[in-house]
A and B are shown apart, each in its own frame.
Chain A
Amino acid sequence: MATKVVMEALSPTMEEGQVTKWLKGEGDKVASGDTLAEVETDKAVMELVARGDGVLRKIVVPEGTTVEVGSLVAVIGAEDEDISSFAVDTAVPPAVESSDGGAADVAALPTGAPPVPVSGDSDRVKATPVARRMASERSIDLAAVRGSGPGGRVVKRDVEGAVATPPAAAITGPAGFEDVPLTQIRKTIARRLAESTGPVPHFFLTTEIDMERVVEARTALNALDEGPRVSYNDIVLKVIAAALVEHRACNAWWQGDHIRYFNEVHLGVAVAVKDGLITPVLRNAHLKTLRQIAVEVRDLAGRAREKKLQPHEYTGSTFTVSNLGMLDIDQFTGVINPPEAGLLAVGSIVEKPAVEDGQVVVRKRMRVTMSCDHRVIDGAVGARYLQTVRRMLENPLAIVW
């Protein structure tokens, strides 16, 4: 029995994928689980694996072509099996724009048949009601679950499997949290603010922090010449996480009908990549040492730039940090990463005149701006959080206290 190889949804938001490289050729023996091709998604380069045993009989989508999720890309079958019944399917898949901006080269494809129209609901996740209910109860993103039913329908056993498999489970988001029902005033605030300023009603809080002692601390740490070098950003991340533990009110997700306050801090760290931006997640940042943070952030950022992150590595953050200091930005405002309620935009450390004991002195200063979702965080709440961040950065020993 021949097996269709289709473009799979390899990330929660993937709608199409580009076959960048075929690792198996027509006529090669393949076993279930073998990597067939590399596929570039909207977020990363992922592997497309075989879902059946046999011989890779036909490659339908050539390298460099982008097709929608669900499109047939190849056929696996027995060596002598008649796969002509796939004739209809082996027509040119619905090509979307290829990465070089032009339309895919239809003439180069194996057959000259016209493109197969895509049904209108191809991007809708097909799942049975019980699968939907279980996924919702367990906070599983159905789009990330591979459906084993007809036409890729997600059925109960797929959701059960998703719970049992750690990588998929990571997409479910942090485990330690408390759901707090919305009070009437909170509902009213949410409705009125959202009505007035759009889906996420932002407001911004800026403070300037004296970084003299952070500079001293970093110099001292790196003078030890042991292990990884610690960056200012690492120290800032550590402080942001430590301060969030003290201010759970800012470590939260807006959930429409309730607010989810997290006990764990998972920091999204905005990383600029070639054609955009991605926020890998520093999990349990509040529990990690500066050294761990230094190593992990470098690894995540490096792989983010190579598009090698797995979906669970860029989902489930509870608060996001964006640092443009290295690009000489003194101060900026970031856009919140929903459903998170807060984001801290970090500027560069600059020497500037400051007033100390009535004297003008030159100090190393850094400006940070917190973007708050007003439905979750009120002005004074955000301000008190920033006060803690500032207190800790001005006295970095606070983070070990």
Chain B
Amino acid sequence: MPILTYRDALNDALREEMERDPDVFLMGEEVAEYDGAYKVSRGLLEEFGDKRIVDTPITELGFTGIGVGAAMAGLRPVIEFMTFNFALLAIDQIVNSAAKISYMSGGQFRIPIVFRGPSGAALQLGSQHSQAFDSWYANVPGLKVVAPATPADAKGLLKSSIRDNNPVVFLEGEMLYNTKGEVPDGDHLVPIGRADIKREGSDVTIVCYAKTLAPALKAADTLASDSGISAEVIDLRTIRPLDTEALVASVRKTNRCVIVEEGWPFSGIGAQLVDTIQREAFDHLDAPLLRVTGADVPMPYNKKLERAAKPTPQKVIEAVKQVTYST
């Protein structure tokens, strides 16, 4: 299997889907002439021309609305946000138009659109550019929310998202674009709504997605070597629809669970997971479910404070020791 960066895996997914279906097009700031702010669309303008790789002004609400209209008219737009921090300006189109038109038209309109771009914090981008809005989108009926952690999942899920007939919010990460991994050859598809066990274990389930897979795996390695604790790491890959079955099966096996997420704690994704797990696996729990989240503050610019505000392997290890009563 070829080893690709997350960035190139997304690029492959876009290229393959655009080759496969002439209705697919990409629109956003700097996606064409500049090859994308993070070079995800490198070479696509040359290959597909400016009718399908469309640069826009800095007008998130406008081009998102055009995307929704194009989807209503039968096209399959991919809308790139330079980061999801900027999508706040377009959230009316995402929530009030994209998520609802199929419902409000009694199914007469399908909205096969993908909103994609990096989400959450990178490094020292300040509080306005370091936010994870995962739970905002996941809260809305009518949206699917996908957040891959690896190049293979990024490619497979972007292809599935483009083919999906519903609006999909596709969360990437600046810090993920350069990560590398094996990506299967050919028409590699990963189904939406299916979690993946990235590491098998028996003592505790660590749930994570996107950027939190790395600290989760690192914590699992350290726990195994230093404490003899066998952690199972489940990568959600899709936040909504949630793969409840996989989560519950794992927690029934391990009896303990730690959830790692990048966003703020209050009403976060982990809160939803805790709700689901305590209900579906109540008689199997041996400890309260614990969450490792971003700190409940605007992201600090200061480097050390920023590090302290993010989920880290050490925080995951501490939570695992607590739920396994091994502190």
A residues at B contact (CB < 8 Å) = 128-133, 148-150, 155-157
CA distance A251 to B286 in the complex (A): 36
By a CB distance below 8 angstroms, the chain B residues around A129 are 282-286
Given contact pairs A130-B255, A149-B325, A155 touches B284 in the complex (Cβ within 8 A): no
Query: What's the minimum C-beta distance from A48 to chain B, rounded to whole angstroms?
Result: 23
Q: Does the CB pair B283–A155 fall under 8 Å?
A: no
CA distance A155 to B283 in the complex (A): 12
Query: What's the minimum C-beta distance from A126 to chain B, rounded to whole angstroms?
Result: 12
Q: Does the CB pair A130–B325 fall under 8 Å?
A: no
Query: What's the minimum C-beta distance from B231 to chain A, rounded to whole angstroms?
Result: 16
By a CB distance below 8 angstroms, the chain B residues around A155 are 286-287, 325
Q: Does the CB pair A156–B283 fall under 8 Å?
A: no
Query: What's the minimum C-beta distance from B129 to chain A, rounded to whole angstroms?
Result: 40
For this complex, 12 residue pairs linking A to B, each with C-beta atoms less than 8 Å apart, are A128-B255, A129-B282, A129-B284, A129-B285, A129-B286, A130-B283, A130-B284, A131-B286, A132-B283, A149-B325, A150-B325, A155-B286
**Mostly helix, strand, loop or mixed at chain A's interface?**
helix
Q: Does the CB pair B283–A133 fall under 8 Å?
A: yes
**Restricting to B249-305, which residues have a CB under 8 Å from any CB of A?**
255, 282-287
By a CB distance below 8 angstroms, the chain B residues around A131 are 286
By a CB distance below 8 angstroms, the chain A residues around B287 are 128, 149, 155
Query: What's the minimum C-beta distance from A227 to chain B, rounded to whole angstroms?
Result: 51
By a CB distance below 8 angstroms, the chain A residues around B255 are 128, 130, 156
Contact mask for chain B residues 218-231; partner A; CB cutoff 8 A; 1 contact, 0 none: 00000000000000
Query: What's the minimum C-beta distance from A176 to chain B, rounded to whole angstroms?
Result: 27
Given contact pairs A130-B255, A156-B255, A148 touches B325 in the complex (Cβ within 8 A): yes
By a CB distance below 8 angstroms, the chain A residues around B285 are 128-130
CA distance A128 to B325 in the complex (A): 12
Query: What's the minimum C-beta distance from B319 to chain A, rounded to whole angstroms?
Result: 14
Query: What's the minimum C-beta distance from A380 to chain B, rounded to whole angstroms?
Result: 42
By a CB distance below 8 angstroms, the chain A residues around B282 are 129
Query: What's the minimum C-beta distance from A281 to chain B, rounded to whole angstroms?
Result: 31
| Chain A residue nearest to B327 in the complex (CB) | A150
Query: What's the minimum C-beta distance from A162 to chain B, rounded to whole angstroms?
Result: 14
| Chain B residue nearest to A131 in the complex (CB) | B286
B residues at A contact (CB < 8 Å) = 255, 282-287, 325
By a CB distance below 8 angstroms, the chain A residues around B284 are 129-130, 133
By a CB distance below 8 angstroms, the chain B residues around A156 are 255, 286
By a CB distance below 8 angstroms, the chain B residues around A128 are 255, 285-287
CA distance A131 to B286 in the complex (A): 7
CA distance A156 to B286 in the complex (A): 6
Query: What's the minimum C-beta distance from A316 to chain B, rounded to whole angstroms?
Result: 25
Query: What's the minimum C-beta distance from A133 to chain B, rounded to whole angstroms?
Result: 4
| Chain B residue nearest to A127 in the complex (CB) | B286
CA distance A130 to B204 in the complex (A): 14
| Chain A residue nearest to B284 in the complex (CB) | A130
| Chain B residue nearest to A150 in the complex (CB) | B325
Query: What's the minimum C-beta distance from B227 to chain A, rounded to whole angstroms?
Result: 15
By a CB distance below 8 angstroms, the chain B residues around A132 are 283
List 6 other contacts, CB 8 Å, given A130-B284, A155-B325, A156-B255: A128-B255, A131-B286, A132-B283, A149-B287, A149-B325, A156-B286
CA distance A155 to B204 in the complex (A): 14
CA distance A131 to B284 in the complex (A): 8
Give the most central of B255, B282, B286, B325: most A CB within 10 Å.
Answer: B286
Query: What's the minimum C-beta distance from B311 to chain A, rounded to whole angstroms?
Result: 24
| Chain B residue nearest to A132 in the complex (CB) | B283
CA distance A294 to B22 in the complex (A): 95
CA distance A156 to B324 in the complex (A): 10
Query: What's the minimum C-beta distance from B244 to chain A, rounded to whole angstroms?
Result: 18
CA distance A149 to B323 in the complex (A): 10
CA distance A149 to B325 in the complex (A): 6
Query: What's the minimum C-beta distance from B253 to chain A, rounded to whole angstroms?
Result: 11
Query: What's the minimum C-beta distance from B86 to chain A, rounded to whole angstroms?
Result: 44
By a CB distance below 8 angstroms, the chain B residues around A133 are 283-284
Query: What's the minimum C-beta distance from A213 to chain B, rounded to whole angstroms?
Result: 56
Query: What's the minimum C-beta distance from B85 to chain A, rounded to whole angstroms?
Result: 40
| Chain B residue nearest to A154 in the complex (CB) | B286
CA distance A139 to B137 in the complex (A): 47
| Chain A residue nearest to B251 in the complex (CB) | A130
Query: What's the minimum C-beta distance from B257 to chain A, rounded to whole angstroms?
Result: 12
By a CB distance below 8 angstroms, the chain A residues around B283 are 129-130, 132-133
CA distance A128 to B282 in the complex (A): 9
| Chain A residue nearest to B322 in the complex (CB) | A150
Query: What's the minimum C-beta distance from A146 to chain B, rounded to whole angstroms?
Result: 13
CA distance A133 to B283 in the complex (A): 6
CA distance A132 to B282 in the complex (A): 11
CA distance A203 to B80 in the complex (A): 82
CA distance A148 to B285 in the complex (A): 16
By a CB distance below 8 angstroms, the chain B residues around A149 are 287, 325
| Chain B residue nearest to A136 in the complex (CB) | B283
Q: 6 nearest interchain CB pairs?
A: A156-B286, A133-B283, A128-B286, A130-B286, A129-B285, A130-B255
| Chain A residue nearest to B283 in the complex (CB) | A133
By a CB distance below 8 angstroms, the chain B residues around A130 are 255, 283-286
CA distance A150 to B325 in the complex (A): 8
| Chain A residue nearest to B288 in the complex (CB) | A128
Query: What's the minimum C-beta distance from B251 to chain A, rounded to whole angstroms?
Result: 10
CA distance A129 to B285 in the complex (A): 5
Query: What's the minimum C-beta distance from B158 to chain A, rounded to whole angstroms?
Result: 39
CA distance A157 to B283 in the complex (A): 15
CA distance A312 to B285 in the complex (A): 29
Query: What's the minimum C-beta distance from A148 to chain B, rounded to whole angstroms?
Result: 7
CA distance A150 to B287 in the complex (A): 10
Query: What's the minimum C-beta distance from A342 to chain B, rounded to whole angstroms?
Result: 34
CA distance A130 to B284 in the complex (A): 4
| Chain A residue nearest to B252 in the complex (CB) | A130
Query: What's the minimum C-beta distance from B204 to chain A, rounded to whole angstroms?
Result: 12
| Chain B residue nearest to A155 in the complex (CB) | B286
CA distance A377 to B43 in the complex (A): 86
Query: What's the minimum C-beta distance from B273 to chain A, rounded to whole angstroms?
Result: 17
CA distance A265 to B182 in the complex (A): 65
By a CB distance below 8 angstroms, the chain A residues around B286 are 128-131, 155-156
Query: What's the minimum C-beta distance from B309 to chain A, rounded to whole angstroms?
Result: 27
Query: What's the minimum C-beta distance from A132 to chain B, rounded to whole angstroms?
Result: 7
